[in-house]
Amino acid sequence: MIIVDKHEPKRFVETLRKMGVKVEVKSLPLGDYIVKDYVVERKTLDDLINSIQTARIWKQLYRLMLLQKEGYRPMIVVTGNTPYLGKGGYDSKMRQFFIFQLVSSFSYGIPVVHLDFDGRMPWFLYQLHIRSDKKKASKPVTVKKKTDIREIKSDMLSCIPGIGRTLADELSKRYSIAELSKMKEEKLSNILIGKRRLGRKGKMIKRVLNE
């Protein structure tokens, strides 16, 4: 069985049922699809870029990462064309997507799958369903929320390459994720932590939160 969030397109549900898959539609607290122990978050390319620019994606990644401790395997599926400019060049959306793919996979341990158009989504879910452990049944996700916002911010920042726990803790005391995201690169790089400036680490924070 595949559990589908009630906000997902009805045509996906209809296609899955035509494929012979049992589907349950309900409100999910996190993710758009649950396939056995997989929690799948679907985003269009434009949705992803927008969430990167507003820094919402990092909070979502953090919440998905926590599911790994509960025995789930989160993943993100991005749908949409990948404009190719020729001579090895891609447009700015794709450059941001490639960076996100690396950060999500290596810093958060969450794989990112790309489908060229959303019509392939039911097919992908079907393949995931039949290739998953047949002994496991899809079960609803229960999200355990942390009440310490500073700790959540620190966890998110510490996932950025080069940002350790001590530095993340200090930054989370002073700034919100939104403030860091909107801060100019020069100002971010000049933040003093102890007697040292962030420097290149500030540039990395800016790059991850905004590209």
pLDDT 10s digit of each residue in the chain, 211 long? 999 999 999 999 999 999 999 999 999 988 999 998 999 999 998 899 888 888 788 888 888 988 888 889 999 999 987 655 444 555 677 778 888 888 888 878 899 999 988 889 999 999 999 987 665 555 555 555 554 677 777 777 877 878 887 888 888 888 888 788 888 888 988 898 888 888 888 888 887 777 6
- Beta strand 33-35 with 38-44 is antiparallel
pTM over 0.85: no
pLDDT given for residue 35 in this prediction: 94
pLDDT given for residue 117 in this prediction: 86
Instruction: Give alpha helix (H) positions in the chain.
Output: 10-18, 45-53, 56-67, 92-107, 121-131, 149-158, 165-174, 177-182, 185-189, 200-210
Q: Residue 126, class by beta-carbon neighbours within 10 Å (0-12 exposed, 13-18 middle, 19+ buried)?
A: middle
CA separation for the pair 79, 187 (Å, rounded) = 35
> Are 91 and 55 in contact, with CB atoms under 8 Å apart?
no
3-state helix, strand, coil in the chain (%, to 5): 50, 20, 30
> Are 37 and 62 in contact, with CB atoms under 8 Å apart?
no
CA separation for the pair 113, 115 (Å, rounded) = 7
pLDDT given for residue 85 in this prediction: 46
CA separation for the pair 192, 174 (Å, rounded) = 11
Show the tokens assigned to 111: 């794989």
pLDDT given for residue 77 in this prediction: 96
List the domain boundaries for the chain.
Answer: 2-131, 149-210
* CATH fold for the domain made of 2-131: Rossmann fold (3.40.50)
CA separation for the pair 61, 52 (Å, rounded) = 11
CA separation for the pair 118, 206 (Å, rounded) = 30
